[in-house]
Amino acid sequence: MFRGSLVALITPMRRDGAVDEEAFANFVDWQIREGTEGVVPVGTTGESPTLSHAEHKRVVEIAVEVARGRVPVIAGTGSNSTEEAIDLTRHAKQAGATAALVVTPYYNKPTQEGLFLHFTAIADAVELPILIYNIPPRSVIDMSVETMARLARHPNIVGVKDATANLARPLHTRHACGPGFCQLSGEDHTVLAFLGSGGHGCISVTGNVAPRLVSGMHRAWAEGRIEAAIGIQDRLLALHDALFAETSPGPVKYAASLLGHGSEKCRLPLAPPAEATRAKVLAAMTGLGLIN
């Protein structure tokens, strides 16, 4: 079971656009030392759509090498091609990843039966724990609770990253899939409400730049210190707002660059953050004491 604060890692780029492997390795180690309980390379925040297959696989390998078993590594391996997703998931297993995060196929718009067949094919092909990544705002489709319950019967499909922002969803998922089905939020703003509805943790964007605060909030919740958890949630609100003022990961890469974790560069078609967004990020990070 995956719990607590997991982070959807950025992929630092050099100013020439190449993956900055040294910066990424240092970043993974820093995350773990700051209290992050699991790392998630090459998801949406890691700019997986614009990485080559070779880059994608290398980023997973670096995360596994640096983690050295200290925390789980959940590798993003999704694609809108089932065969491509199988290949990336096979590589994640070979590299030593703990689990795979597989997004619902974007652009194709499969039916619920298509979703069932897609995830079943991946789970049949690779003996590795799989988390379904359900993110309708980016993939257009929404996996139904009924389809998820069918998939939850597969021994290799162990949970979901739920980025629907529907706080009734974890209640229905728990009822349909059972309390052992791992539910991780994909929405930083609503983490505590998600946990209160039966969730187990969050794959966070904000944790890229405030890992100690985010993991502290999860620990406070797990220890029953609810007021303390709410207090940290309140402190993080302005940072959440700033990091999602534009399409992620633009703002969070800018924020990470202020902390010395690589450049702010994203690959096109993502544009550099607007000056107004930069100002929001700077103000939020200063307000939290993350920078002077």
Helices 226-243 and 250-258: angle between axes, nearest 10 degrees? 110
Residue 36 has pLDDT above 90, yes or no: yes
Residue 57 has pLDDT above 90, yes or no: yes
Q: Quick one: pLDDT at residue 266?
A: 97
Is 277 domain-assigned? no
The residue from 57, 161, 253, 280 that is catalytic is: 161
- Domains held by the chain: number: 1
Local confidence band at 216 (pLDDT 50, 70, 90 cut-offs): very high
Per-residue pLDDT of 150-167, as tens digits, reads 999 999 999 999 999 999
Residue 71 has pLDDT above 90, yes or no: yes
pTM: 0.97
> Is 161 part of the annotated catalytic residue set?
yes
Contacts 24+ apart (CB under 8 A), 171-176: 171/197, 171/198, 172/145, 173/145, 173/148, 173/198, 174/198, 176/145, 176/146, 176/148, 176/149, 176/152
Query: For the residues 207-218, what does the mean pLDDT come to?
Result: 98
Is 229 domain-assigned? no
Query: For the residues 110-123, what does the mean pLDDT come to?
Result: 98
Query: For the residues 44-58, what does the mean pLDDT come to?
Result: 97
The residue from 57, 133, 253, 254 that is catalytic is: 133
Q: Quick one: pLDDT at residue 289?
A: 97
Q: Quick one: pLDDT at residue 114?
A: 98
Per-residue pLDDT of 264-288, as tens digits, reads 999 999 999 999 999 999 999 999 9
Is 235 domain-assigned? no
Q: Which of 8, 107, 21 is nearest to 57 (CA)?
A: 21
Furthest-apart CA pair in the chain: how many Å?
Answer: 52
Is 49 domain-assigned? yes
Domain of 66, in residue numbers = 4-224
Q: Quick one: pLDDT at residue 144?
A: 98
Is 257 domain-assigned? no
Q: Quick one: pLDDT at residue 292?
A: 86
**Domain harbouring 164, CATH code:** 3.20.20.70
Residue 1 has pLDDT above 90, yes or no: no
